[in-house]
Amino acid sequence: MTGAWKSSTVWVLCFLTWTFVEPAHGFPGMKTADRGSGSGAGTKAGQPGTLVEPPPGGTPPPATVAGIEALLAGSGTPRPLPESGPGVISVRVTDDVSEHPVLGGLDVILTAVLSGKVIGQEQAETDSEGRCAFRNLITESSVVYTATVIYQGVRYTHPSLTFPTDTTEADLEFQVYPSGPAPGKASIRGVHVILETLDTGKGVQVTEMLFIDNPEKRALVGGPEGIVTFALELPKTASHLEVGQGLQRDQISVGDGTLYYGGPLYPGDNKVLLSYHVTPAVGWTFQRRVSFPVEMFDVFVKESALRVVSQVLKGGEPLNMRGADFLRYHGGPFDPGSLISFRVDPAPTAMAAAGSGRTSAVPVAVMAALFASIFVALPILRPASSTGAKSDTALDAERRSLESERDRHLLAVSEIDMDFQDDKLGEDDYHRLRKRHKQAAMEAMRKLDSLPAADHPNFCTRCGKRLEPGDQFCARCGARITAGG
Amino acid sequence: MNAQLGYYLLWFALILSVYAGVAAISGSVTRDSRYHDSAIRAVYATFLVLVGAAGILVYAFLADDFSIEYVADHSSRVLPRFYAATGLWAGMEGSLTLWSLILAGLTAFAVYRNRVRARELIPWVIVTLSVVQVFFLLLQIFVAGPFERVSGLLPTDGRGMNPQLQNPGMAFHPPTLYIGYVGCAVPFAFGMAALVTNRLDDLWLRLTRRLTLLAWLFLSIGIMLGAWWAYVELGWGGYWAWDPVENASLLPWLTATAFLHSAMVQERRNMFKIWNMLLVFLTFFLSILGTFLTRSGFVQSVHSFAASSIGWYFIGFMVLILVAFLVLFLGRLPGLRSAGQIEAVLSKEASFVYNNWLLIAVLVVMLVGTFGEPISRALTGVATTFRGPYFNTLNIPLGILILVLTGICPAIAWRRATPANLKRNFVIPLVISTAFTAAVVITGYALGEVDLVASPAHRYAVLTFWSGAFVAVVVGIEFHKGARARRRSKGGSYPGALLSLFRLNSRRYGGYLVHLGVVCMFVGFAGNAFNSESQHVMKPGETVEAGRYSLTYAGKRDISRSTFAGIELNLRVSRGDRNLGTYGLQRRFYYREDQTTTEVAIRSTLLEDLYLILISLEEDGTAIIKARVNPLVSWVWLGSGLLVLGTLVALGTTPAERRGRA
């Protein structure tokens, strides 16, 4: 037992002093199905079970709900189940692991709840086939029944059930596991922390989910009372603590700055869910020193106004989870003894990010502008009388026009030759048109020759290189330099 | 740092553009080449500065810099980097930057190439293009800035890119289209320079021929990429819906096509100067109009247009360039009148005139159909809708006439086509095309696919086949004649002679290839008349019939990627006993963009496409699919490829150019 208790302490995460503002109560918005449902038990309404004879003699309590309420008035203690109805709940308990399909001699407790108050409780023992039944039960839909089995120190609770309309029989099945000392081979698969700004805008809601995996086909227990204990620390300004599903809420207790869970770890997934508020939303630190291996630690930030600063958590990558946007920081695996810590800061703004950029953009822009301006202004800085300052004249314009006309008529001649070859032109038209264009080309060439000799060009007409006076060939491309271009 | 630097670079580009225009005017007026040279350098510097600005924006996309609003609006961390880089043109602001960059690049190129041989035109080319550049830069600096920062908190992630844009075709469609649009500005600028300097000969045409052809090529590629994207991505089974934004890209293409053809007449016969001046202006004007239509939201809603100021700026700019052009054009009108005239109704010159008028007619149809709805809504409160039937009813007959001209023009002679010439050049094509079409019709009737009596669409399709065959035979004969003449003069093999034709006269024979490409595309368009569609409800293992195909439900599976999750339905396609493969139809949900898309499956052959669309897939495996059989669609893409190839050939140099004469 001592060893088991010591084993259970490995589940202690870390300690910090904190205060509760409100006692733990049901986690809003979460289904409150208890862990016992994960073991596979389900309600099978309508199936007949073994009848149990009603107790001899005695007046049955009133059959109506009002009558029961009256009966309960002034009484704070659970009473035996009111036996004034036709309802029958049959219970069967099996153990899959040990290959014994049935278990006998187990205590099954049936509790009836009306309007949040326990109105009755009864205990029965399973027979050699693992069966027992509760009879003469009120079947009104306002009465909720819960069944609990305790096996080897582990409590299994069936989800609450009510009798559907026109149904008087219900079957419950429990699949139980043998229990053994913690920690076994259990490990924490992941710790997920979600940060969301409160509707008031003045704080952040922190939701923590621990996924503890028990791969063994037995429930793990430990400690002096056969329970596993671990503690969770909270930030100093945490408030509005709420504990959610996954573990039996009646096994949660608080004290000395520690949230204790005292209960078994069932086979498969065990989920611990809790949430609390932290005010203000930024500037606080989350710390956990883990004394066992943690495979993965995630922080999901739902609001872009928050940033997580951490040395052990990397990321900040956006994650689109079914239409919701999250920023995800993650780390792991973490060895025992690791400190997982992060600080929640305000997110950087675009203007802040731009601020530093503005100062470094100016020098670059100035340099670029300077170089470009020098490049552009260089020609203007030349003396006006340099060799490059010759401008076009009317003579040059006329020369180019004649050259264009010459080329056009020569091109027309070659096209006419091709058209005649392709039978697109009659012979008479061919000779007539060819003669006309040839004469026009010769006239253009004659006019070109009659123009005054052009000055030595300043630029090579082929490659554009600036020429020196007297150049006969271009130094770059080798083109012959002729007067007039 | 990046956004601020990008903003400064835009300002600097604006200053350089203004300076370039002012310096160019100074140089021209004072005849001082120092200002001329300085203006040219300012053009080069503008290009470099805009490369920097665009580079900063692309880098911001690749680095997921969501402090820039444009990046946050059009990208996300999970977007593949290739598509992140294309975010530059995903929205209006970046598109304006792309426009400026391409304009600066083409301006620098055109100025560099022509700075010596067109020395008197270049200053006014710089002025014109600088005015355009200044307009777009002012928009980016004051109206739709690509470097605006997000206000408040830094987003942790961007809003992502429309999943339908995450497609290779759509990645390249905007930049190719923009090169086409912007490319139309350069010949316009040379035209304006010719008007200013009164150099009304064909110099400006010859200098810009290749650039015009290049712009036309990119317009064509951009339009075809858009059509292909619509076909494979949008999942409605077609590739052209006469959507206003689609029409916007076609408008300048029509006038550019007319301009390219009638420019030849001015070069050969010094005619059509007025036509060419008007066409080059219209092409540029319509490219600005196309950009305006795409970005202002005008055709979607006049109210959304009015809510955004950018539309008004575009309208103001278009009025400015219209007024500037008209003033110059009307002032130079006497000089633009041709000395020569069209000598015969049947001549190459006349066929170009008919071609121009037919293309203008299509343009008018497109303009009425594109602007009619918003204008009627604005004026009367009731929108008159112009949809597919309107465009098809008018454009199909016009298109067929243009196609026929495509066959007549290469074979007809300049100046006058004699009856003997007509007989020599057109009898064989007429006979062959008629015989071919008759065979097609008879076969179609025998198979029950053709009904000329009941279906006007079938009649138009048959006319298209006839016209296409006619053009193909004419072009084939042209190639044959050229190869035969080449062999007569130079000897050698027939294939060698054919290939040498492209080298000898790349412009002519490249043009013939383009015409063949157009024929193929029209054949593909005609296939629409024989489309069929069916819808089926299928359960696992079931087989349904869609036309000549059997579709068997082979299975379904879930698919999951980093950017999306989805379901895929696998259909096994067979025809008779022949298994044609298994095809996957998908519906995807993109997480980041919160959007669902449909991914179609297409089985393509030269004869027809089997087009499969997943309508729904239930949990129990029941699927509703739509199956379309689209005949001859592949001919559209084949023809596009041939058009591109032909244009690239036509861009080649002539022997005279290689000798340095032209």
Q: Which is higher by pLDDT, B357 or A321? A: B357
Q: How many structural domains compose chain A? A: 3
| CB distance A267 to A219 below 8 Å | yes
- Does A380 contact B35 at a Cβ distance shorter than 8 Å? yes
Give the model's pLDDT for residue B51: 96
Which two structure tokens, joined as six digits, stand for B556? 């379904």
At A28-61, the pLDDT tens digits run: 221 222 333 333 232 222 222 221 222 334 333 3
Q: Which residue is closest to B422 within chain A, CA to CA?
A: A424
Query: What CATH number should be reported for the domain holding residue A114?
Result: 2.60.40.10
Residues A223, A124 share a domain:
no
Q: Whole-angstrom Cα distance, residue A430 to residue A367?
A: 65
Segment A77-87 shows an average pLDDT of 69
Domain-embedded: residue A208:
yes
- Does A425 contact B37 at a Cβ distance shorter than 8 Å? no
Give the model's pLDDT for residue B382: 80
Domain-embedded: residue A113:
yes
Q: Give pLDDT < 50 ranges for chain B.
A: 301-306, 660-662
Give the model's pLDDT for residue B654: 63
A-chain CB neighbours of B49 within 8 Å are 368, 372
Give the model's pLDDT for residue A374: 92
- Does B116 contact A461 at a Cβ distance shorter than 8 Å? yes
Give the model's pLDDT for residue A253: 59
Q: Which residue is closest to B265 within chain A, CA to CA?
A: A412
Compute and round to an integer the Cα radius of gyration of chain B: 27
Domain limits for position A417: 394-450
Residues A191, A121 share a domain:
no
Residues 324-383 of A with CB under 8 A from B: 325, 327, 347-351, 353-354, 356-358, 360-362, 364-365, 368-369, 372, 375-380, 382
Residues 65-84 of A with CB under 8 A from B: none
Identify which of B206, B414, B660 has the shortest CB distance to residue A462: B660
Q: How confident is the model at residue A73 (pLDDT cuts 50, 70, 90)?
A: very low
Q: Whole-angstrom Cα distance, residue B57 to residue B365?
A: 39
Give the model's pLDDT for residue A45: 26
Minimum distance, in Å, between the CA of residue B329 and any CA atom of chain A: 20
Least confident of A123-132, A428-437, B284-293: A428-437
Minimum distance, in Å, between the CA of residue B628 and any CA atom of chain A: 34
Identify which of B270, B412, B594 has the shortest CB distance to residue A424: B412
Give the model's pLDDT for residue B538: 92
Residues A304, A192 share a domain:
yes
At A262-312, the pLDDT tens digits run: 567 777 777 777 788 888 888 888 887 776 678 888 898 876 678 888 888
At B38-62, the pLDDT tens digits run: 999 999 999 999 999 999 999 999 9
Q: Which residue is closest to A457 within chain B, CA to CA?
A: B116
Q: Which is higher by pLDDT, A367 or A31? A: A367
A-chain CB neighbours of B267 within 8 Å are 408, 411
Identify which of B149, B270, B478 has the shortest CB distance to residue A354: B149
A-chain CB neighbours of B199 within 8 Å are 397, 401
Sheet containing A43-45: order of strands: A43-45, A169-176, A83-95, A131-137
Residues 238-257 of A with CB under 8 A from B: none
Minimum distance, in Å, between the CA of residue B659 and any CA atom of chain A: 11
Query: What CATH number should be reported for the domain holding residue A345?
Result: 2.60.40
Residue carrying the six token digits 């040279």: B37
Count A/B contacts: CB-CB distance under 8 Å.
175
Q: Which is higher by pLDDT, A155 or B250? A: B250
- Does A325 contact B157 at a Cβ distance shorter than 8 Å? yes
Query: How far is Cα of residue A266 from the mean position of the Cα atoms in its chain?
Result: 28
Domain-embedded: residue A215:
yes
Minimum distance, in Å, between the CA of residue B493 and any CA atom of chain A: 19
Give the model's pLDDT for residue B619: 80
- Does B153 contact A422 at a Cβ distance shorter than 8 Å? no
- Residue A391, chain B, CB below 8 Å: the answer is yes
B406 to each of B261, B466, B475, B654, how far by Cα in Å? 11, 13, 9, 23
First to last CA, chain B: 49
Question: Where a domain ends, among A332, A350, A368?
Answer: A350
Identify which of B33, B41, B594 has the shortest CB distance to residue A375: B41
Residues 421-460 of A with CB under 8 A from B: 421-426, 429, 433, 459-460
Kindly provide the b/e burial profile for residues B377-386, where b requires at least 16 CB atoms within 10 angstroms of the residue's own CB. Answer: beeeeeeeeb
- Does B201 contact A389 at a Cβ distance shorter than 8 Å? no
Suggest the residue from A320, A325, A373, A427 to mutate for an interface test with chain B (most B CBs closer than 10 A).
A320
Residues A338, A239 share a domain:
yes
B-chain CB neighbours of A390 within 8 Å are 33
Let me know how many helices (H) and strands (E) chain B has, helices first.
22, 9
Domain-embedded: residue A134:
yes
B-chain CB neighbours of A323 within 8 Å are 591, 594
Domain-embedded: residue A386:
no
* ipTM score for this prediction: 0.79
Residues A237, A282 share a domain:
yes
Q: Which residue is closest to B53 within chain A, CA to CA?
A: A365
Question: How much of chain A exceeds pLDDT 70, in percent?
Answer: 62
Give B135-167 as a DSSP string: HHHHIIIIIS-TTPBPPSBPPSS-----GGG-S
A-chain CB neighbours of B592 within 8 Å are 320
- Residue A394, chain B, CB below 8 Å: the answer is no
Which two structure tokens, joined as six digits, stand for A56? 């001899």
Segment A342-360 shows an average pLDDT of 67
Q: Whole-angstrom Cα distance, residue A228 to residue A221?
A: 5
Domain-embedded: residue A15:
no
B-chain CB neighbours of A459 within 8 Å are 116
- Does A317 contact B77 at a Cβ distance shorter than 8 Å? yes
Q: Which of helix, strand or coil describes residue B245?
A: helix
Give the model's pLDDT for residue A55: 32
Give the model's pLDDT for residue A364: 83
Suggest the residue from B2, B18, B67, B201 to mutate for an interface test with chain A (most A CBs closer than 10 A).
B67
Least confident of A196-200, A201-205, A301-305, B655-659: B655-659
Domain ranges for chain B: 1-148+155-162, 407-529+636-658, 532-633
Which two structure tokens, joined as six digits, stand for A477? 């491309």
